[in-house]
Copies of this chain bind each other. A is one copy, B any other.
Amino acid sequence: MNKLRQELVALHAELVRYNLVAWTAGNVSARIPGEDLFLIKPSGVSYDDLSAESMVLCDLDGKLVEGELSPSSDTAAHAYVYRAMPEVGGVVHTHSTYATAWAARDEPIPCVLTAMADEFGGEIPVGPFALIGNDDIGKGIVATLSGHRSPAVLMRNHGVFSIGKDARAAVKAAVMCEDVARTVHIARAGGPLVPIAPGDIDALYDRYQNVYGQR
Contact = CB atoms under 8 A, between A and B. Distances in A.
Contact of A95 (B45, B104, B183): B183
A187 B105 contact: yes
Contact of A175 (B22, B179, B186, B203): B22
Contact of A212 (B73, B100, B182): B73
Contact of A214 (B45, B190, B192, B207): B45
Interface string A170-196: 001001100100111111111111101
A163 B17 CA distance: 28
A144 interface: no
Contacts of A114: 132, 157-159
Contacts of A182: 97
A106 interface: yes
B132 A115 contact: no
A50 interface: no
Contacts of A45: 214
Interface string A8-52: 000000000010001111000000000000000011110000000
B191 A105 contact: yes
Nearest to A155: B114
Nearest to A106: B194
A70 B70 CA distance: 43
Closest 9 CB pairs of A and B: A44-B213, A101-B187, A104-B187, A101-B186, A22-B179, A114-B158, A106-B194, A104-B112, A97-B183
